[in-house]
Amino acid sequence: MKKISKAAVIGGGTMGNGIAHIFSMHGITIHLVERNRELADKALETITGNLDRMVGKEKIDATRKEETLDRIVTFTDTAKAVGEVDLVVEAVPENFDLKRELFSEIDKAAPGEAILASNTSSISITRLAATTSRADKFIGMHFFNPVPVMKLVEVVKGLQTSDETVAVIEKTAQRLDKNAVVVSDYPGFVSNRVLMPMINEAIYCVYEGVAEPEEVDQVMKLGMAHPMGPLRLADFIGLDVCLDILNVLHDGFKDPKYRPCPLLVKMVDAGRLGDKTGEGFYSYD
């Protein structure tokens, strides 16, 4: 079976820098691509901070931190970055046209044998795969935030993804010390099909005056042992991201049970997106 020794990660935002961090920490050379040098430096700074936190908690030693950083090379040119890799993991914003254009460039520049993976949380893997010349080597590799901490990789098998590709990605996830769960490609996969209706229902509770955000969250934290209540989690994920995913579920299944709560729509319209804007269901400094 093909072994991944060098991978490119496209996008150094919250998910991309976490993905680069864990691949490199487990011995895989990383080409990390950002749009410009400033963003690339910022991604490296975040990875360094998260590695420092792990050293502080004695999860890794200082040598492993340095080795992890040494294995990450940053690029601003996607074609150059993917030229000699075994795997490309895309982690850019959730916009189909943006991803389609990116994968068309990657498909031309990456070696014919390379596997192309998307970290999309909701866009169809089958549809993205069909825009490349290697649908059999195209797969979803869906990570969870914070990537260095969460134990799951949801591996999404598109209609044309080969069993060989699934096996390589499952094995790679194990090397990253993650559990791979393989699912079929339907809207929201399993994770967001289950999570987002719960978050939406929690928002409806606030919208209908059943309870305040703090109370809804306390019920789920204390009664169901969730580490974060659904509204705190919605802020952490980003309310715009939650709304996008609910719209994908609503459009994909044509079922009113996925209708986004009007309060969520209003908050996104107001630019109250959660942690990243400092205001969501809670306020952040």
Which of 50, 118, 172, 200 lies at the binding interface for ligand 3HC (CB under 6 A)? 50
| Nearest one of 107, 106, 137, 103 to 123, comparing CA atoms | 103
| Nearest one of 82, 150, 80 to 117, comparing CA atoms | 82
Nearer to ligand 3HC among residue 25 and residue 109 (C-beta): 25
Position 49: which residue type? Answer: G
User: By CB under 6 A, is residue 161 in contact with ligand 3HC?
Assistant: no
Which of 23, 103, 144, 281 lies at the binding interface for ligand 3HC (CB under 6 A)? 144
Structure tokens at 119: 């970290």
Which of 53, 80, 151, 266 lies at the binding interface for ligand 3HC (CB under 6 A)? 53
Q: Which helix (H) or strand (E) holds 156?
A: strand 152-157
Which of 93, 146, 271, 278 lies at the binding interface for ligand 3HC (CB under 6 A)? 146
Q: Which of helix, strand or coil describes residue 1?
A: coil
Q: What is the DSSP letter of 279?
A: B
User: By CB under 6 A, is residue 150 in contact with ligand 3HC?
Assistant: yes
**123 Cβ contact partners less than 8 Å away, ≥ 6 residues apart:** 94, 96, 99, 248
Stretch that binds ligand 3HC, among 25-33, 48-56, 83-91, 107-115 (CB under 6 A): 48-56
Q: What is the DSSP letter of 283?
A: B
283 as an active site residue: the answer is no
142 as an active site residue: the answer is yes
Buried b (16+ CB within 10 A) or exposed e, 112-136: eebbbbbbbbbbbbbebbebbebbe
User: By CB under 6 A, is residue 68 in contact with ligand 3HC?
Assistant: no
Least spacing, CB of residue 58 vs ligand 3HC, in Å:
9
Q: How far apart are CA 128 and CA 284, in angstroms?
A: 36
207-236 footprint of ligand 3HC as x/- string (CB under 6 A): --------------------xx----x---
The residue count for binding ligand 3HC (CB under 6 A) is 17
191 as an active site residue: the answer is no
Structure tokens at 277: 């804007």
User: By CB under 6 A, is residue 145 in contact with ligand 3HC?
Assistant: yes
Which of 192, 231, 244, 248 lies at the binding interface for ligand 3HC (CB under 6 A)? 192
Question: Which is it for strands 179-184 and 6-10: parallel, antiparallel or unpaired?
Answer: unpaired
Residue pair 176/147 in contact (Cβ under 8 Å)? The answer is no
Q: How far apart are CA 8 and CA 16, in angstroms?
A: 10
179 as an active site residue: the answer is no
Nearer to ligand 3HC among residue 46 and residue 107 (C-beta): 46
Which of 57, 112, 163, 256 lies at the binding interface for ligand 3HC (CB under 6 A)? 57
The binding site for ligand 3HC (CB under 6 A) comprises: 50, 53-54, 57, 121, 144-146, 148-150, 192, 227-228, 233, 237, 241
Q: Which residues are catalytic?
A: 121, 142, 154, 192
